[in-house]
Structure 1
Amino acid sequence: MRRKKFVAGALGACALVMGVAPAASGYVGEQLPDTARQPAGAAYRGGDAASATLKDAKGNEVGSAWFTTDSRAHAVWVEVYLTGHFPPGFHGMHVHEKGNCTVGDPTNPFTAAGGHLMPMDHHTGLPIGQLPPVQVRSNGRGYIKFVLDTFTLDQLFGPAGTAIIVHSKPDNFANIPADRYSVRGDPNAPVPDEKTTATGDAGSRFACGVITRDQN
């Protein structure tokens, strides 16, 4: 994963969100913002919409996600609201390549969703399923709203479908964690291993939701 490219894209997304929807970007209250209570797509009419209900490995509903095409900007708005049960802090978040949230092994749940969404014809840069991390407050709740142009809604509905997964830890975007650094400039310093490159060391899959297209 290439950190610089992702950070630049994320900052651009944040800037656009702050410019268009300051109330949502500044959300610190206990209740879900009015914009997120509206049906998916209500704020950005003219495009398709999709949504997902996030559940943890015990089957508890722990959040919701909305995906809305903004036909004016040729982009997709994404909103995620976590309703509780999450540890405070940042949590990695991705769209995965299969619409299957079967729990399977409860110690390693949701592996049926496969890896991060990365179409065969997308050969460079981050997987298109890479999303910004969501921050959870001390009460276990979190909310994030952003816009991106790395995928279209149609790409979420291939033969296998897709799912959104929230992980138990932050995503380091393939940077090596601080406790694995050696002396700076050391040619023998460790590089991101396969796990770091594939997952960003974001930990286990805490919650999963199959993405479904909303009916207009």
Structure 2
Amino acid sequence: MRPIAALIFAAFLGACASFGGGGDNAGPVPSRTAWIVTQDGRAIGQATFTNAPAGVLIRLEFSERALPPGWHGLHLHARGDCSDFAAGFQAAGGHLGMAERVEHGLLNPDGPEAGDLPNLFAPPAGPFGAEFFSPSTVLGAERVPATARNVAREALLDADGTALMIHANPDDQLSQPIGGAGARIACAALTQLP
């Protein structure tokens, strides 16, 4: 291999390693895709989670009329369990990163929680999609401590995983505990199992 090609290849491998799962010795974590299901157990789309140097990129893809038209609250929840869809996805627990000193809401001066995300808009017709960036998470099994450049990041693939939750109403990004987002209407379970 030529010296220049070897340097480029080494730089590429180093960049890939920077997308690791949490610890200094962790290797790269490939993107993960999970089905988004409704309260009747029907799959309406997919959520793909991809590691980035300072967070996780979340891509959502939905089939036509997958959700009621309008704005919907979107949060990451503490457990990757969407199995109790008929009971409103309560097994997913509360928001990821809920703590006594941190409050809910992207507009809250005492927030946000690690699970807080912007709202999602569902059009009245046609398939649709969106991308969101979560700077407070890592696609890995271990929490990443804060550095001078980045906030601490909660692990999405810890022992009990994480759920992406879609709510019936928009999140006002300020009021407690969930910004008035209402009922849980769709869920995607992200777990350690591929």
Tell me the TM-score range normalised by the shorter chain. Answer: 0.5 to 0.7
Give the Cα–Cα distance (whole angstroms) in 1 for the partners of residues 89 and 166 of structure 2.
Answer: 11
The one-letter amino acid paired with 2:111 is G
The corresponding residue for 1:55 is 37
- Of 70, 85, 94 in structure 2, the residue corresponding to residue 115 of structure 1 is 94
The corresponding residue for 2:8 is none
CA contact under 8 A between 2:160 and 2:191: conserved in structure 1? no
1:204 aligns with 2:183: yes
The one-letter amino acid paired with 1:127 is E
Match of 2:117, SS state, is: strand
Q: Which 4+ runs in 1 deviate beyond 2 A?
A: 45-48, 119-124, 212-215
The one-letter amino acid paired with 1:58 is D
Give the Cα–Cα distance (whole angstroms) in 1 for the partners of residues 98 and 164 of structure 2.
Answer: 16
Give the Cα–Cα distance (whole angstroms) in 1 for the partners of residues 168 and 90 of structure 2.
Answer: 14
| Structure 2: tracts of 5 or more residues without a match | 1-14, 20-28, 103-109, 141-154
Correspondence list, 1:40-51, <5 A:
46=16, 47=19, 48=29, 49-51=31-33
Q: C-alpha displacement at 1:102, in angstroms?
A: 2.3
Distance of aligned partners of 1:119 and 1:86 in 2 relative to their CA distance in 1, 3 Å threshold: closer
Q: C-alpha displacement at 1:119, in angstroms?
A: 6.1
Output the aligned Cα RMSD. Answer: 2.4
- Of 94, 99, 102 in structure 1, the residue corresponding to residue 80 of structure 2 is 99
Give the Cα–Cα distance (whole angstroms) in 1 for the partners of residues 114 and 60 of structure 2.
Answer: 17
More helix as a share of residues: 1
The corresponding residue for 2:50 is 68
CA contact under 8 A between 1:52 and 1:164: conserved in structure 2? no
Give the Cα–Cα distance (whole angstroms) in 2 for the partners of residues 54 and 61 of structure 1.
Answer: 6
- Of 84, 100, 119 in structure 2, the residue corresponding to residue 133 of structure 1 is 119
Give the Cα–Cα distance (whole angstroms) in 1 for the partners of residues 101 and 156 of structure 2.
Answer: 14
TM score, norm. by length of structure 1 = 0.60
Count residues with an aligned counterpart.
146
CA contact under 8 A between 2:117 and 2:132: conserved in structure 1? no
The corresponding residue for 1:13 is none
The one-letter amino acid paired with 1:92 is G
Match of 1:95, SS state, is: strand
| Deviations, residues 10-64 of structure 1 (Å, cap 9, x unaligned) | xxxxxxxxxxxxxxxxxxxxxxxxxxxxxxxxxxx83322222110111110111
1:144 aligns with 2:130: yes
Query: Alignment identity in percent?
Result: 30
Q: C-alpha displacement at 1:200, in angstroms?
A: 0.9
| Structure 1: tracts of 5 or more residues without a match | 1-44, 175-195
The corresponding residue for 2:143 is none
Match of 2:124, SS state, is: coil
Distance of aligned partners of 1:75 and 1:214 in 2 relative to their CA distance in 1, 3 Å threshold: farther
